[in-house]
Chain A
Amino acid sequence: MISAYSISGTLQRAAFAAVAGFMAFGVQIQSLPAQSLPAGYPADYQTLVDAAKKEGTVTVYATTDAKAAAPLIKDFEALYGIKIEYNDLNSTELYNRLIAESAAGTGTADISWSSAPDLQIKLAADGLALAYASPEIPLLPKWAVMENMAYGTTYEPMAIIYNKSQVPAEDVPQSHKDLAKLLATKAAAYKGKITAYDPERSGVGFLMMNRDVKADPASWDLFKAMGAADIKVYTSAGAMIEKVGSGEHSIAYNIFASYGLLSIKKNPNLVMVWPKDYTLIATRVAFIPSKAKHPAAGKLFLDYLLSKRGQSIIAKGELFSIRGDVEGKETAKAVDDLLGDKARPIPVSRELLETLEQSKRLEFLNQWQAAIKK
């Protein structure tokens, strides 16, 4: 009896403490802007916010230009009063830094956010990512979340970009099939005029061509046609777009629509096509490194990045929101409305690890070499 009483007494005290705690909690919530906790977040989310504030900063390693990310940074800092240290790196540098810092035990970034999904998934699979179930998961597509570790944050069509002063209207390829046909029938006219990422020198280029073949095995015919038209392959999208803009080349293949939009705005000769037979959708993958110095702040930023508020800013910044409930032109909704069932998202999943397997990779590259051989 005594023990039962004492248990209920303990319970009572616990309940009292909880209420007191909740009241204190309530006061704190009031001191924050009302929109700081989106609907559907767990009640104890505030403890995470408090812990993050105590940490004070969130270090982000990202491949997204600091300039493109600036509105996100500003809004997040204003919302939580937590400073963002933003490091703008390329995907190889990001990978190199993260593995070295994780191994050195000096602590590393709190968010790794990269446009090379295969490398991100490799890092997560190698145990360098923290498992964290974001409260935003129910609002994300299933393919965009890997084991509560890695999250897709954008929905970017891979486009064909052409220069309309160089490509007559009747030649404009509306699909992969069109492009293959155009290059096959007018190989002389388009000799040296088609350009793409070099799958041998560019990780993104490799991944996209690999996914092309998965989406449509006839892609090998397209690659053959590209080879026959003396394709010029590059390591950076910037160089390709610049040279299509200048007319040195006429058509660039597999360009991120986010880059495409920016260049179209500056050069009225450039036009972007999302292929009608299928369009690959790339996503920038984010995770919290397991050796993060400020894990709470990292979680907070990840949730923010996936939240409706963060995603609305992503859409405005022409990076294409991945959420179905964000309105605007650069959103998954708008892309799907246009493409119907032809969108082929590249899943955030262990499936991508296959492209990093040495023998399979070298085999694919050999096939590529054989295909483009004249």
Chain B
Amino acid sequence: MSTAVAGTSTRRIVIAVTALFVLAPILLITYQSFLTAPFFDPKAQLSLWAYEFVFREPDFWRALGTTAMLAVGMTAISVPLGALLAFLMTRTDMPGRNVLEPLLLVPIFLSPLVLAFGYVVTIGPVGFVTVWWKQYLGNPVWDIYSFSSLVVIAGLTHAPHVYLYASSALRSLPGDLEEAARVTGAKPGRVAMDVSLPMITPALLFSGVLIFFLGFEVFGLPLILGDPQGLLVLSTYLYKLTNKLGVPSYQLMAVVVMVIIAVALPLVFVQRLLLRTAQRFIAVRGKAVRTNLVALRAWRWPAFLLIAGWFAGTVMLPMMGLVLRSFVSSWGLGINLIDVLTLDNYIELFDDSEVVSAIINTLAIATIGGALSIGCYTVIALAQHRWTSAWVRFADYIVMLPRAMPGIVAGLAIFWVFLFTKPLAPLRTTLFAVWVAYTLVWLAYGLRLVQSALLQVAPELEEAARVTGAGLGRAMRDVTIPLIKHGMLAAWLLILLIFVREYSTAVYLLGPGTEVIGSLVVSRWGGGAIDIVTCLSCINVALISLGLLVALRLGVKLHG
């Protein structure tokens, strides 16, 4: 049927516009990497100097190695864990699923910067859990500043990303195959491994590749946890490069981005190869089947405890530290916490007019901006949908590119694009610029969410519509989009949370009127106002948890 692709000119326009937005900052960075000075400096000359400089640095190679190990390690932890969480939550009769569901998402909207700091307060060398442990159990068996701690924490906190992909894919699968397996005597673990999870291989592959990329971009965790030992990953190495020469050297930063892109492109190629077989996984057919849950029996409570334990370690532990820190003036050795309890930090916080507008802006950009972004992602996904063409291959490659830039570089590049493109210049100091930056940086991510949903839709439904005379637009509007609307809703919620949490991208666009919580946290952290940072983060988490709970209560279904 692929010959019957219609609307190719519209598809081409959509992909071309996407490419324009994506490539503008990327080409700028690429050009920058071959210069001797900032691209806008008249003294700048073409040269390979920046590449020579970076490749001669032992620190660069160390950082590259560490980053690769981190990315592999965290993918190895979060993909199986996320898949397991998804299976338990969607396909089994595990107790407490309704309570756990919103909680599972919490790590996604915790900024890694504050999460890491929370860990320092609880299980750092003088954290209160550590002190308690020393008192009763002897020397702690962990070192929060070690590389393995970083990998484990990164892996645990990224599992919900996988969970979201995997669970939305699982939910759109009929349960008859699992039921058949169960009836013929397969144990729950066997059902998961041999039936459910293989069926969602595309979603797992997508999420695996994305987690691997996020590994190259992780910044907040290594910034805090790697600081005392001087542990460098590429994103913190960028920081070091900035100061090594005294003045920010964009050409050096650009070279590091080029390296990350060089890693990214082959991965997209591998991913495309793996997904050529995606046809095999089409599961949403034109017939509705009620899903029966897999009975866990004796495994019910152990499964529950597993998730609860993961949640305690990933969320409760750092959050406890964070909440505690927000209510005290000081903490640690020689301090009785009762003596230092205070509300001053919060009182101070609400004295701050910047904070109030940051909260409002963040909510606006997350809800309205998030919805608009999902709209854009859906248009792009539909433009590629059921179309075998060089254009689609091209689009697959370019959408990954913005994610190859660490947030802070992406922010800087977008700042440049807005600044040096005359028609865009007036928009630079508005929230619109922040929205563009966010939409671009999370393009790969959001697009994959929508595509994951689209992959599950069988072609015959759309074909039926086309055969009965509907145009391509009509078929998409009346068949495809209604079929993926749950996927879109879930994607919107996820993007909303991501936008709330996003912190480094908007730093260069920060100004009166464009404050968002994330960039404010970064700027206040730099200024040493740790009380403000912790309070702001606690409020951030509280607000979203509340919003999420209300939404679920009101019947907004995360999944179909």
Contacts and interface: CB of A to CB of B under 8 A. Distances in A.
A118 B527 CA distance: 18
B512 interface: yes
Contacts of A106: 419, 425
Nearest to B351: A67
A236 B220 CA distance: 13
Nearest to B236: A201
A263 B38 CA distance: 38
Contacts of B245: 356, 358, 361
B332 A87 contact: no
Interface of B: 38, 40-41, 120-121, 124-126, 223-224, 227-230, 239-240, 242-248, 329-335, 348, 351-352, 354, 412, 415-416, 419-420, 425, 507-508, 510-512, 523-531
A134 B55 CA distance: 47
A201 B240 contact: yes
A13 to B, nearest CB: 46
Interface stretch (A41-49, A238-246, A311-319, A342-350): A238-246
A54 B448 CA distance: 52
A80 interface: no
B528 A237 contact: yes
B529 A238 contact: yes
Interface string A250-286: 0000000001001100111110000000000000000
Interface string A45-84: 0000000000000000001011100000000000000000
A314 B452 CA distance: 57
Contacts of B511: 85, 87
A233 B226 CA distance: 11
Interface residues of A, number: 62
Given A92-B248, A104-B420, A269 B239 contact: no
Given A88-B354, A100-B419, A106-B425, A200 B526 contact: no
A356 B120 CA distance: 34
A238 B332 contact: no
A246 B126 contact: yes
Contact of B247 (A63, A100, A122, A198): A122
Interface in A212-246: 232-239, 241-243, 245-246
A356 B330 contact: no
A355 B335 contact: no
A90 B244 contact: no
Given A106-B425, A163-B333, 10 more contacts: A87-B512, A89-B510, A119-B246, A245-B331, A246-B126, A247-B335, A263-B528, A266-B329, A267-B330, A356-B245
A171 interface: no
A165 B333 contact: yes
B244 A248 contact: no
A325 interface: no
Nearest to B425: A106
Contacts of B527: 63, 65, 88, 90, 238
Nearest to A240: B528
Residue in B329, B508, B526 whose Cβ sees the most chain A Cβ within 10 Å: B526
Given A238-B525, A246-B332, A247-B333, A201 B228 contact: no
B254 to A, nearest CB: 13
Contacts of B348: 67
A25 interface: no
Contacts of B354: 66, 88
Contacts of A238: 525-530
Contact of A66 (B124, B126, B334, B352): B352
B523 A166 contact: no
A365 interface: yes
Contact of A248 (B38, B329, B332, B524): B332
Contacts of A266: 329-330, 531
A252 B205 CA distance: 47
A87 B415 CA distance: 15
Residue in B230, B354, B527 whose Cβ sees the most chain A Cβ within 10 Å: B527
